[in-house]
Amino acid sequence: MYLQKLSLINFKNIETQSFDFQEKINCFVGDNGVGKTNVLDAIYYLSFAKSYFNSVALQNIRHGAGFFMVEGDYFLNDRNEKIICSLKRGQKKVLKRNGKSYEKFSEHIGQLPLVIISPADRDLVTEGSDTRRKFMDGVISQQNKSYLKDLISYKKVLSQRNALLKYFAANRTFDALNLNVYDEQLSEYGARIYEVRKLFLEEFIPIFNEKYQIISGDKENVNLKYKSQLQDFSMMALLKNSLEKDKIIQYTTSGIHKDDLSFEIGAYSIKKFGSQGQQKSYLIALKLAQFEFIKQQSKVTPILLLDDIFDKLDESRVSQIIDLVSKDTFGQIFITDTHAERTESILKQSKNPYQIFNL
C-alpha cells in the first residue's frame, strides 16, 4: 500500500496544494511554521478521519475559509482507492471512499493502516493514564472491530452510569435496580476489553523490547507493564466495592477506564529518571512496535509518518533508526525535518529512492 497523490484545500495553514509521492521515502523540509507537520496530519486524517494534533475539527479549517478538503489517491491490494475527507462550517464531517460516504467513521479505521511518530508523543510519558490507554486502544482497534465496538459501547454505558449517579445526588434518591442494569453491561464489556488488552500486551511487549534494543544498541534495559484493577477483581466486584465512593463523587471510580501502562527504564520510571534522548528512544520503539504489530495482524504494511524525530537524538541513535526503517520490511515513509542538509545526508545512507519537498 502507498499514497500516490495528496491534494489539500484550506487545511490548516495550506490554502491549496498537491503532492505526487515516491513509493518509498518522501521528506518535507523547511523552517518551523511552514506547514510540514500539517501535511503529515492531512495524511493521518485520511486514515482516521481526524487530526492527530487537534481534536477540534473546525480548527483544522484555514482561518477565514468556510471548509477544508483532504483528498488522497492510494494504491492498495492491486487497485486504486480514492479517499476524501471534508468539513464545511455548520455541517457534519464527510468521509468518502471511492465516492461512497461512510455512515460510521469507525468502519474506516484499519482500512489504511498508518503509524505516526511525533514530538507530541511525549504526552504518553508526561500526561495521565488516559493518554496511554488511547494509545493501546488505537493499536488494537485498527485491526479488531469487535474490540472497537465493545470500547464504544463501554464508554456510552459509562457515561450513562455517571449521569445516573449525578441524578441520584441531585434528587437525593437511589435506585439500586436501575444502577445494576448499567453495572451488568459495564461488567460484560469490561471483561472482554480487559482480556483483549492483556493478550495484546503479551504479544506487543516482546516486539517493543526488541525495537528498543536496536535503537539503543543493546545499552539499556526497558520494560512496559500493564496495570489494571481487573488483575485482582472482577468488574462487577469493583463496581460494588466502590459504590459508596461513586455515589459521593458522582462518577464511576473503578473499571477498565482506569487501566494504565507503566513505562520503565531499568527498574525506574522513565518519566522521572530517563533522559530526553532515552524518553524519545522509548517512544520511537513503542511506535515501531505498533507498526510491526499492525503489519503482522493486517498483512498490510502501514504508512509510517516521522515528524521531526531526529531532534534530541545522538548520531548513533539516528543512524540506528534510519537503518531500521530503510529495510524492506517497511513501506512508504514520510519524514519532516528543519535541516535540509542533515535530511539529505541521512537519506543517502538508506540507499533507498527518496524525494524531498522544500516547503
247-306 confidence digits (pLDDT tens): 999 999 999 999 999 999 988 899 998 888 888 889 989 999 999 999 998 888 999 999
Number of domains in the chain: 2
CATH number reported for the structural domain that contains residue 132 in this entry: 1.20.1050.90
Quick check: is 118 in a domain? no
Enter the pTM of the model. 0.86
| Residues of the domain holding 26 | 1-113+305-359
Quick check: is 133 in a domain? yes
C-alpha cell at 18: 498537491
Mean local confidence (pLDDT), 45-62: 93
91, 134: one domain: no
Backbone torsions φ then ψ of 3, nearest 5 degrees: -90, 120
Instruction: Specify the 3-state DSSP secondary structure of 166.
Output: helix
Q: What angle do CA 6, 355, 48 make, to 5 degrees?
A: 35
- The mean of the pLDDT values for the chain is 91
Quick check: is 34 in a domain? yes
Residues 316-354 have pLDDT tens digits of 677 677 777 777 788 899 999 887 777 787 777 777 788
Alpha carbon separation from 214 to 122, 198, 211, 284, 324 (Å, rounded): 20, 25, 5, 11, 8
252, 331: one domain: no
51, 85: one domain: yes
Inter-residue contact 320 to 217 (CB < 8 Å): yes
Q: Please give the DSSP secondary-structure letter assigned to residue 327.
A: S
